[in-house]
Structure 1
């Protein structure tokens, strides 16, 4: 199992906390796939922040992957408390 999956399992068990995840651009697709496990928990994804093509998406974790049109970008992922 990846360390990221272990972290996401801990996040699932901690509904009253907000979390901020950052990783390298080439792990965006894998991270979005794994974050689906959080189900309907609200998240915010910031892509290429401070760049001309900056994108901010707010959605439920299980819907996020379908809203992102790229496989690689600098990103931060904010996971809201329930």
Structure 2
């Protein structure tokens, strides 16, 4: 059995959630990780600025470009 450390929860969530073409509901991040979305806000902004991510007040999802470069998008969250 392997337990994910609290500091890795954001990355682990995003690693899985970004694989979903339809994305995920914004509130899901806090529900699943116990962390506020603000912990990854900087990376969300950077990914959005690069055209890898779409988000609004309800949903976060990879853009078509982000889907093509999914590994790069996911890796951005590794340093959070």
Tell me which interval the TM-score lies in, with the shorter structure as reference length: 0.3 to 0.5
The two structures have a TM-score, normalised by structure 1, of 0.34
Structure with bigger RCO (C-alpha 8 Å, 6+ apart): 1
Greater percentage in strand = 1
Greater percentage in helix = 2
